Chains A and B, each alone.
Chain A
């Protein structure tokens, strides 16, 4: 148990150390040490607990709950202060309401509720622990060098690097906590920590655009926090439990009833996982630093939301309004984000839209609630995390060195990567891995695809198919342009120190692509057996086949550029007309299209959510009426 606790406590200590560390090399050393130690600890945990599958821990201390509420209150006060300081009032209101409600609940009712096990570890958690340690560590390594150059380039921005990295490690600690905590109150605390850390990361630059995006994120997620609070309150009040695994047990018996609090928790997860009505801040794309976004989308925030939804997947399903809401929002997100990415040639938009789209896909898998779908979702989560981190790292490096980069993200991929063939090859690997992950999990997991269709949810199936078409467009276009820039001669070597962590990420991506069938066979399938009580046997063969397909595709596409010796050349470019002018997407007014798509997608998602909430109220009334 010590290992498990230390996985949460250790990053906190590291964060506090980082707050006071001065000097790049020290910081680098500390972060490298931390990441290696955490990876080692996660692997130790795997070795200890994997065979048994799941483990409960008690970890009782009388006053821990009060400490938890206390920390939550402190964070809320900080958020209220920040909100008032920048004259945004919704966020502080939400923060105040939820923490007050929880505090009142805990003080009055909480002592009455008996919590058996505060910690719970299963194979899914352990896989995620290793994933977070490694990916988080690599992103921090990249981030350190990035922030160095970033501040050299923009000396007018306040250098708060200590806070930046400390905050990242707080976020990592919170994520570790999320995957091991069983007590929903504690989950609420780490939720808040994740929101706060992401808020600080997004708004790091301090410019107007960054703050606007940060507060957009904060407001929506505090609204999600309200939903989470409501869910916790209902669970505590009506069902008399605060433990996640008990919720799952009740869910397998009384599916419909548990859907009532589940829908709130899932709503909070949807908001955190950047689904369409709530992800405007990302798609608008203003003034971010690349490691910040990498952390948010690959390690903490998005993964947190998706983790909760996948964890609750056995409770969701197609008969269930919570499940339907999740499915629909996920599918609509996938379709809308992919369509926006089709018509926006800028590199940053492509990457951020692909993040939102992938999250939508994972969420839809979670909403379907079957074992195969959840397997697909988990694997997509892992593959997306590393490949997106790689893409963001390469793109960030290229952007930072680019003369035209002025913080506004409107360079196309071709412009961004011209003359940087090695970085293009890295980004190409990432994009190819993401493409294969999306497509083969969408397509090859034929069980889930046919289930989508047979479930009668034609709307979701249609959304996924059309979204797949759009996704193929922008991903293939991205890959094409990257192959071109990767084959061109090198114009500008750039900072070699920045490309080293990128290369490590490439190694990680390729390694994960090779290894994921094994992860699926030995980690995910057994988890699903416990969570769902049995899974179809066809899974294993499909997994090995999928692994082979991914590797073959990657090698054929990108292998040319890693050979070293240049065997192939490019023909001479045609003179005269520039490529960008011939881009047919200039025929459509892309800004209006983007706005319309996001608007329509948002409206459709909102309608799904409202309808599901309506069903929930109906069920609630029926239950109360029946009970009375």
Chain B
């Protein structure tokens, strides 16, 4: 009974608090990156204002098909996050994330624009790049903590960080790829002065774009939740360290975004698969030997 209550409370807490936390983090990140460029930058509440602004835009009279699929994307992102924070199986979370990305790709295709199709191709390349590493991560947790359920990993007895350090490094790479920032921003350039064409969101406007932004906030919190998982060992110290490292990782990602140019898809796939093969597989092998 208490278990079910706990699950429901964590799920609802994530559902309500994650957009605020994600938006705030995004705002702080933008402030940080502006600071790196010696600018003053927008305020920390800017992402919320952006979303409100986008929602004010009136959509066209017709109901576009891509709006529907973007809503499906948002739905699956939220499902993934809620499942993760409710303590479900890691693989279910991964499957939900993959399904969400598939819907985003489908939405891009259905928006009937050439640029969107190119963006969708690039998004697919990115999915292909990060999928193996994410599965390795799940396997690593399963081997070290004995279970793939998030709630079991959270109460585990020792910090999975050091034994899984190769996988952690790989996951950082994956996080950069998944969040569509440089040097892996093949299809989505979020630089305010950027002159690149945003691929997948080419035909999205107004409320759809706002929904995507909010889904990105949910996803940010989920990804940082994965980082947190690497440090959880059941004690309050583990939680504190995990949260701190998660936030540091976020700012690290913003920093990398500022410092790098975009790269070609061949590079992205090669580096992601190479890292997965070398770091991930080696880590798994070492775990197998150790355990």
Establish whether A and B are touching in the complex (CB under 8 Å).
Answer: yes
Give chain A's interface residues, CB within 8 Å of chain B: 342, 435, 439-440, 443-444, 446, 449-450, 452-454, 456, 458, 461-462, 465-466, 468-470, 472-473, 476-477, 479-481, 483-484, 487, 545, 549, 553, 556-557, 560, 567-574, 576-579, 582-585, 587-588
When distances are taken between beta carbons in the complex, the residues of chain A under 8 Å from B72 are: 556-557
The one of A453, A473, A483 that contacts B127, using a Cβ cutoff of 8 Å: A473
- Which residues, 75 to 131 on B, are CB-close (under 8 Å) to A? 75, 89, 91-92, 94-95, 98-99, 101-103, 105-106, 108-115, 117-118, 120-122, 124-125, 127-131
Alpha-carbon distance A9/B56, docked complex (angstroms) = 71
Task: Give every chain A residue within 8 A of B130 (Cβ-Cβ).
Answer: 469
B15 at the interface (CB under 8 A from A): no
Q: A465-B135, A557-B106 are in contact. Are A582 and B65 (CB under 8 A)?
A: no
Instruction: Identify the interface centre among A465, A557, A572: most chain B CB within 10 Å of its CB.
Output: A465
A470 CB contacts on chain B under 8 angstroms: 128
Q: When the two chains form their complex, are residues B68 and A473 in contact, meaning their CB atoms are under 8 A apart?
A: no
B256 at the interface (CB under 8 A from A): no
Number of contacting residues on B, CB 8 A? 61
Q: State whether A570 and B139 are in contact (beta carbons under 8 Å apart), knowing that A446-B89, A454-B288 are contacts in the complex.
A: no
The answer to whether B127 touches A469, judged by C-beta atoms less than 8 angstroms apart, is: yes
Bound Cα distance A577, B118 (Å): 12
Q: Is the CB of A446 within 8 A of B91?
A: yes
* B213 CB → nearest A CB, Å: 20
Instruction: Digitize B41-84: 1 where CB-to-A-CB distance is under 8 Å, 0 elsewhere.
Output: 00000000000000000000011111111001001000000000
Smallest Cβ distance from A122 to chain B, in angstroms?
30
Considering only residues 260-288 of chain B, those with a C-beta below 8 Å from chain A are: 265-266, 273, 276-277, 280-281, 284-285, 288
Q: How far is the CA of A569 from the CA of B108 in the complex (A)?
A: 14
Complex contacts, B98 vs chain A, CB 8 Å: 439, 472
- Asked if B132 is at the interface of the complex by the 8 Å CB criterion, the answer is yes
Establish whether residues B109 and A480, one from each chain, have CB atoms under 8 Å apart when the complex forms: yes
Digitize B242-256: 1 where CB-to-A-CB distance is under 8 Å, 0 elsewhere: 000000000000000
How long is the Cα–Cα vector from A481 to B109 in the complex, in angstroms? 6
Q: Report whether A582 and B99 are in contact in the complex, using a CB–CB cutoff of 8 Å.
A: no
Q: Of all chain B residues, which has the CB nearest A462?
A: B281
The residues of A that contact B215 with a CB separation of less than 8 Å are none
In the bound assembly, the distance between CA atoms of A585 and B118 in angstroms comes to 10
**Chain B nearest CB, measured from A225 CB (Å):** 37
Contact B132 A443 (CB under 8 A): no
- 3 tightest CB-CB pairs across the interface, nearest first? A480-B109, A469-B131, A453-B139
A473 CA / B89 CA spacing, docked (Å): 24
Determine the residue in chain B with the shortest Cβ distance to A454: B143
If A453-B139, A466-B276 touch, whether A579 touches B114 (CB-CB below 8 Å) is yes
List, in ascending order, chain B residues with CB within 8 A of A577's CB: 114
User: Chain A residues near B91 (CB, 8 Å)?
Assistant: 443-444, 446, 449
Residue from the set A450, A480, A556, A567 with the largest chain B CB neighbour count within 10 Å: A480
Q: In this assembly, does B212 line the interface, its C-beta being within 8 Å of a C-beta of chain A?
A: no
Write the nearest CB–CB distance from B159 to chain A, whole angstroms.
20
A465-B136, A469-B132, A556-B72 known; A483 vs B281 contact (CB < 8 Å) = no
B205 to chain A, nearest CB (A): 10
**Chain B stretch 181-234: residues in CB contact (< 8 A) with chain A:** 203
Residues of B within 8 A of A439 (CB): 95, 98
Closest partner residue, chain A, to B131 (CB atom):
A469
* CB atoms of B110 and A483 under 8 A apart: yes
B99 x A458 contact (CB < 8 A): no
Would you give the shortest CB distance from A520 to chain B, in whole angstroms? 17
Q: Using A453-B142, A454-B288, A466-B273 as known contacts, say yes or no to A582 and B118 having CB atoms under 8 A apart.
A: yes
Could you jot down 11 A-B contacts, CB within 8 Å?
A443-B91, A452-B139, A469-B127, A472-B124, A473-B125, A477-B120, A480-B110, A483-B69, A571-B113, A577-B114, A583-B121
**B7 interfacial contact with A, CB 8 Å:** no
Cross-chain contact A480 with B120 (CB below 8 angstroms): yes
| Whole-angstrom CA separation of A343 from B129 in the bound complex | 14
The smallest C-beta distance from A187 to any residue of chain B, in angstroms, reads: 37
Contacts of A583 in B (CB 8 A): 121
Contacts of B89 in A (CB 8 A): 446
Cβ-defined contact, A574 with B112, below 8 A: yes
Q: How far is the CA of A400 from the CA of B7 in the complex (A)?
A: 54
| Contact partner, A483, options B63, B67, B106, B124, Cβ 8 Å | B106
CB-CB under 8 A for A472 and B142, given A480-B120, A584-B122: no
Q: Does B21 contact A (CB under 8 A)?
A: no
Contact of A568 among B63, B131, B143 (CB under 8 A): B63
A480 touches which one: B108, B125, B273 (CB < 8 A)? Answer: B108
Does any Cβ of A come within 8 Å of B138's Cβ?
yes
Identify the closest chain B residue to A479 (Cβ). B106
Given A446-B148, A487-B110, verify A466-B68 contact (CB < 8 Å).
no
Given contacts A443-B91, A453-B142, contact A569 B284 (CB under 8 A): no
**14 new A-B contacts at CB < 8 Å, known A476-B102, A483-B109:** A446-B91, A446-B142, A450-B142, A462-B280, A465-B132, A472-B131, A481-B109, A483-B106, A545-B92, A568-B64, A568-B67, A569-B62, A584-B122, A587-B266
A575 CB to closest chain B CB (Å) equals 9
Residues of A contacting B131 in the complex (Cβ-Cβ under 8 angstroms): 465, 468-469, 472
